[in-house]
Amino acid sequence: MSQLDEDAVLQSMMNKILLVAMNDGKISEDELAILKQVKLDIQSLREAIKSLETSEETSEEEVNRLKEFRKNLLQNAYSISQKDKIITQEERDLINSLIKSLMTTENY
């Protein structure tokens, strides 16, 4: 997959979760915190992908790194949502959207 394809997939994922966050017409502080963390995590993924493209690691190692990224991204979003010990329906919807987007990107 080319860098442009990867960027399109990642941008599509961000767009989907942003639409879910804006579904009720406002973005709560917790939703904003999740979106910011996802953006940071995606930037880290882009850097990891660039690093993998220039390395001689095997494709199995690349797959493992991507699986680890997905797990960390979801864990980060979940951790942010439970900081105030209350997970709202909006936060659940955002995390579920993130899960669906990540499942869709598994094929890439």
What confidence tens digit (pLDDT) does each residue in 6-20 have? 677 777 888 888 888
| Residues in the chain with pLDDT values less than 70 | 1-6, 52-53, 55-58, 105-108
Instruction: Supply 1's token pair.
Output: 């997959």
Q: Percent of the chain, pLDDT > 90? A: 1
Closest of 89, 80, 66 to residue 10, by C-alpha: 66
All structural domains of the chain with their residue ranges: 3-105
pTM: 0.68
Q: Residue 91's closest CA among 31, 38, 44, 46?
A: 31
